[in-house]
Amino acid sequence: MTKDGVQGAGEEEQAQSKKGLKKQQKEAEKAAKKAEKQAKLAEQQTTEEDDFAKDRYGVPPMVQSQQKLDRALVRIQDLTPEMADQLIWLRARIHTSRAKGKQCFLVLRQQQFNIQALVAVGDRASKQMVKFAANINKESIVDVEALVKKVDQKIESCSQQDVELFVERIFVISQAEPRLPLQLDDAVRPDGEGDEDGRATVNQDTKLDNRVIDLRTTTSQAVFRLQSGVCKLFRDTLTTKGFVEIQTPKIISAASEGGANVFTVSYFKTSAYLAQSPQLYKQMCICADFDKVFCVGPVFRAEDSNTHRHLTEFVGLDIEMAFNYHYHEVIESITDTMVQIFKGLRDNFQTEIQTVNRQYPSEPFRFLEPTLRLKYREGLTMLREAGVEMGDEEDLSTPNEKLLGRLVKEKYDTDFYVLDKYPLAVRPFYTMPDPSDSKYSNSYDMFMRGEEILSGAQRIHDASLLTERATHHSIDLEKIKAYIDSFRYGAPPHAGGGIGLERVCMLYLGLHNVRQTSMFPRDPKRLTP
Amino acid sequence: MPMYQVKPINGSEIKIDLPTCMYKLPNVHAQASSCSEHALQNGELDPAVAALELRQDEIMRRLYELKAAVEGLAKTVTTPDADLDVTVTSLSQSPTSTAFRGTSDLDSLLGKDLGALRDVVINASPTRPPLTLLVLHGLLCQRYRVLSTVHVHSSVAAVPPALLSCLGPQHADSYTRQRFQLGFTLIWKDVPKLQMKFSVQNMCPIEGEANVARFLFRLLSPYPSEPALATLIDSWVDTAFLQLAEGSTKERATVLRALNSSLGQEPWLAGPELSLADIACYCCVRQTCSSTPANVQRWLKACDNLGHFSSTLPLLQ
């Protein structure tokens, strides 16, 4: 599987995938032949000599919870030089195996950690046992009893570099099929490296088609551990700030932001929509005196855009908060939350970040505390100084967004900043206009590495102004009657915003495709796995 | 008039019959002579000239007043042992007039106003807080409407609270950025050398506290036009940062001797007025030297009296 961009630059994707399939098949055939040969060889060599280590290896019956062994299984990451000369049990996958005469080297893997193990013919292991160990398929799960030994020279290829295991017993708990759709080592190879050595890299679609195996790679393990960290830090920070977590329905009766880009589902005798954002419900909770709420849940967008940063279903981290006098109170609250997340990641997820960087090198994420806040007009001025021609009330295009990100990084050296006071014309109808200049609004976007991650604003909490703005945007008042009505019975001033979890992870790690940070991505062309 | 007067040869009134189909012009000769005569005789001035004279007088009077005021101020400021109340000077500047002057000044100094805040970004390491710049920040605040913000960069783990509040309390109007003339953004960051970024498009980052100090001081007052004096100031600034701040004990002692002898002759380092030389040397002496000779001590006290340096005090411990 060389990179298929070399020949097929102009070809369609389908043809490419066909080619890929063929190649895969060929490779599979090769592998099968090889396996056959090996099997034959093994048979030939297997003499009927007496095997003294018969009980020390094998394939035990399937674990159906017949017995409850009182056996402690050690985690690979705990195997340090302090554990030397202890006899331990562990369960791991066979990452690679390499037989050499009377010895067989295995690399045992457990999540992102791995260790070298050795089966050698001696008074504990027989020839047959070594052969058995060498023939266990990759990715099979084994139970191993082994002696921990210190090594003289560091083992560079493993995460546990100071110790290795001398295997005493080895049992296969779950046998993997001999042929893997993709090799883990190929999947973690940095983009440039494969080309130089003529070694294979795996393209994105193959990875996503075999997501379960791809998720086993160290890179994926690190990405999703970090993602879980983002969620946890988000929840923890907001909870300490006095926020309440809410759960909102995802099946809604009316589209909140125009019907064009929502999914329609049939709902008994009528139809319903999948929520684009919990916007309406967050605001209703504010009107219901919850004061500060947040919500973590799926968000659906039926936009047919196939870009590196759009998904049709993603996890939204939404915040809505009532404030006292100025919506900057809310901006400060949100940016502080983000900074806490960044700090938490910087301090607690350094291993994960470095693991991802090994495959996808990127600069460490930089930020300021308190967060830099620029005005939209300042941003425009910076762009104009750089030679971009833009109207005062024009929205930022994606390239301009990126350019502005670069300019801000150049001057302030931060990858995270807020752009405040957007033109009213480019924001949704419920955005509060700026009191001093009606061309602008009390709305803001937040950017990470020059890409938008959050879009928020002060919302209009006055029913009559809301009606006026809705009419101005020529929205059918009947359809949003319930929404407007919720502000009739006293509503506090409030503001908020929504963040895409996948985007935050992608941009924090400096990855190039949001599918890398979505466990099972959904886009207009992908519904499985 | 020191000339003879000659009587007109003709009778003063000659009647000529003029045709009526032509434009009438006043007789130039007749009018001039009669006017000057009239003026001479009565000793009176033309009202237009009188008005002009009056206006000039008024302008001169105001200029003298201004000069006197400035001299008075200069006396109090430049006399080292003058007992000066800081608050009075800062209050005495009327906000509107300075603001107006400030805008025009900044336009001429920094180029055209493009409708956005001119933001001076300074990256400084928290291990070596730039005292000189904090003093200059205080002076800038007296002159312009400055939006000052302090940030901590992610490359720095923790910053002492004194450094976070070193630019004073946050401005009450800080949410309206366009109301300010100048932004002063101090970022505590892990940098080997202090760094200033202003106009990313046209300027490379300026490195070194001394150079940044020169830039900021020029926003406050023009450099002396006399080359010798300007060079003297520059040389003192260099001495302060290269020899006082970073030098060995021996070098420091040499500089202190030089300071002492210079301050024996003049109240300030570069002549009769406070300059950047004094600010830079003051900060470096305070930061590094424990004991100082007599003249330097007097000068340090004079600096303290000015009150510009009070912002550095919490950071000196």
User: Mapping DSSP to helix (H, G, I), strand (E, B) and coil, where does residue A459 land?
Assistant: strand
Given the structure tokens 């070809």, which residue do they identify? A11
Dihedral angle over CA of A294, A296, A302, A306, nearest 10 = 120
Distance CA A526, CA A312 (A): 10
Dihedral angle over CA of B171, B177, B180, B185, nearest 10 = 70
Distance CA B73, CA B50 (A): 35
Nearest by CB: A410 against B117, B123, B200? B200
ipTM of model over 0.90: no
Instruction: Work out the average pLDDT over B55-81.
Output: 80
Nearest by CB: B154 against A366, A380, A385? A366
Nearest by CB: B151 against A342, A365, A369? A369
* DSSP state letters, A190-204: -HHHHHHHT-----H
Nearest by CB: A368 against B115, B119, B152? B152
Residue B121 to chain A, least CA–CA distance (Å): 7
Task: Work out the number of other CB atoms within 10 angstroms of the CB of residue A3.
Answer: 14
| Average pLDDT over chain B, rounded to an integer | 77
State residue A194's pLDDT score.
61
Let me know if A309 is a catalytic residue: yes
Residue B73 to chain A, least CA–CA distance (Å): 39
Write phi, then psi, for B113 (nearest 5 degrees): -80, 125
State residue B45's pLDDT score.
66
Residue B247 has pLDDT above 90, yes or no: no
Among residues A145, A303, A329, A451, the one annotated as catalytic is: A303
Nearest by CB: A372 against B116, B117, B151? B151
Under an 8 A CB cutoff, do B154 and A346 touch? yes
Instruction: Work out the average pLDDT over B21-29.
Output: 72
At residue A148's C-alpha, the angle toward residues A146 and A150, to 5°, is 150
Select from A413, A415, A436, A437 the residue whose CB has the most chain B CBs within 10 Å, as the one to mutate to test that interface: A413
Residue B112 has pLDDT above 70, yes or no: no
Under an 8 A CB cutoff, do B152 and A414 touch? no
Distance CA B311, CA B141 (A): 12
Distance CA B169, CA B88 (A): 20
H or E element, residue A294: strand A292-300
Let me know if A526 is a catalytic residue: no
State residue A404's pLDDT score.
94
State residue B135's pLDDT score.
87
Closest Cα partner for A353 from A501, A184, A221?
Answer: A221
The reply to whether A440 touches chain B by the CB within 8 Å rule is: no
Select from B151, B164, B187, B206 the residue whose CB has the most chain A CBs within 10 Å, as the one to mutate to test that interface: B151
Nearest by CB: B115 against A368, A369, A381? A381
Given the structure tokens 């049992």, which residue do they identify? A171
**Which of chain B's residues have a Cβ under 8 Å away from the Cβ of A384?**
114
Chain A stretch 364-423, residues whose beta carbon is closer than 8 A to a beta carbon of chain B: 364-370, 372, 374-375, 377-378, 380-382, 384-386, 407, 410-414
Of all residues in chain B, what percent carry a pLDDT higher than 70?
76
* Cα–Cα separations (whole angstroms), residue A322 to A283, A401, A460: 9, 29, 12
Q: What is the pLDDT of residues B264-305, one digit of tens each?
A: 888 888 877 788 888 888 888 888 777 778 888 888 888 888
- The amino acid at residue A368 is L
Let me know if A310 is a catalytic residue: yes
* Cα–Cα separations (whole angstroms), residue A103 to A97, A99, A151, A162, B213: 11, 6, 17, 20, 70
**What b/e sequence results for A316-348 when a residue is b if at least 16 CB atoms lie within 10 Å of its CB, and e otherwise?**
bbbbbbbbeeebbebbbbbbebbbbbbbbbbee
Instruction: Work out the average pLDDT over B185-197.
Output: 91
Say which residues have a Cβ less than 8 Å from residue A472's Cβ, sequence separation at least 6.
Answer: A429
Select from B200, B202, B204, B206 the residue whose CB has the most chain A CBs within 10 Å, as the one to mutate to test that interface: B200
Nearest by CB: A412 against B121, B175, B176? B121
Under an 8 A CB cutoff, do A414 and B123 touch? no
Q: Which two tokens stand for residue A423?
A: 């033109």
**Which of chain B's residues have a Cβ under 8 Å away from the Cβ of A378?**
116-117, 177
Under an 8 A CB cutoff, do A367 and B175 touch? no
Let me know if A455 is a catalytic residue: yes
CB–CB of A226/A28 below 8 Å?
Answer: no
Let me know if A235 is a catalytic residue: no
- The amino acid at residue B251 is E
The reply to whether A327 touches chain B by the CB within 8 Å rule is: no
H or E element, residue A87: strand A87-100
Dihedral angle over CA of B141, A416, A318, A254, nearest 10 = 100
Could you tell me which residues are beta bridge partners of residue A494? A322
**Which of chain B's residues have a Cβ under 8 Å away from the Cβ of A380?**
116
The reply to whether B206 touches chain A by the CB within 8 Å rule is: no
Under an 8 A CB cutoff, do A413 and B187 touch? yes
The reply to whether A180 touches chain B by the CB within 8 Å rule is: no
Could you tell me which residues are beta bridge partners of residue A87? A147
**Which of chain B's residues have a Cβ under 8 Å away from the Cβ of A412?**
121, 151, 185, 187, 197
Distance CA A5, CA A11 (A): 9
User: Mapping DSSP to helix (H, G, I), strand (E, B) and coil, where does residue A471 land?
Assistant: helix
Among residues A301, A449, A461, A494, the one annotated as catalytic is: A301
Under an 8 A CB cutoff, do B154 and A342 touch? yes
Closest Cα partner for A457 from A422, A504, A503, A410?
Answer: A422
Say which residues have a Cβ less than 8 Å from residue A10's Cβ, sequence separation at least 6.
Answer: none
Distance CA A24, CA A18 (A): 10
Chain A stretch 50-79, residues whose beta carbon is closer than 8 A to a beta carbon of chain B: none
Let me know if A29 is a catalytic residue: no
**Which of chain B's residues have a Cβ under 8 Å away from the Cβ of A372?**
151
The reply to whether B145 touches chain A by the CB within 8 Å rule is: no
Q: What is the pLDDT of residues B28-65, one digit of tens each?
A: 766 554 445 555 555 566 788 888 888 999 999 999 98
Under an 8 A CB cutoff, do B154 and A372 touch? no
Say which residues have a Cβ less than 8 Å from residue B290's Cβ, sequence separation at least 6.
Answer: none
Chain B stretch 228-267, residues whose beta carbon is closer than 8 A to a beta carbon of chain A: none
The reply to whether A35 touches chain B by the CB within 8 Å rule is: no
**Which of chain A's residues have a Cβ under 8 Å away from the Cβ of B197?**
410-412
Task: Work out the number of other CB atoms within 10 angstroms of the CB of residue B178.
Answer: 14
Nearest by CB: B175 against A326, A368, A384? A326
Q: How many CB pairs under 8 A join A and B?
A: 63
Among residues A235, A455, A486, A512, the one annotated as catalytic is: A455
Q: What is the mean pLDDT of each run of 10 residues along chain A (529 residues)?
A: 46 60 78 74 57 86 90 90 91 92 91 90 88 92 93 90 92 92 85 69 86 92 94 95 94 67 90 87 92 94 87 93 93 94 93 91 91 90 87 88 93 94 90 91 94 93 92 84 89 93 94 93 89
State residue A332's pLDDT score.
93
Let me know if A164 is a catalytic residue: no
pTM over 0.90: no
Q: Which two tokens stand for residue A363?
A: 């600069």
State the alpha helices, DSSP H only, in B158-307: 161-164, 209-220, 227-238, 249-265, 276-288, 294-306
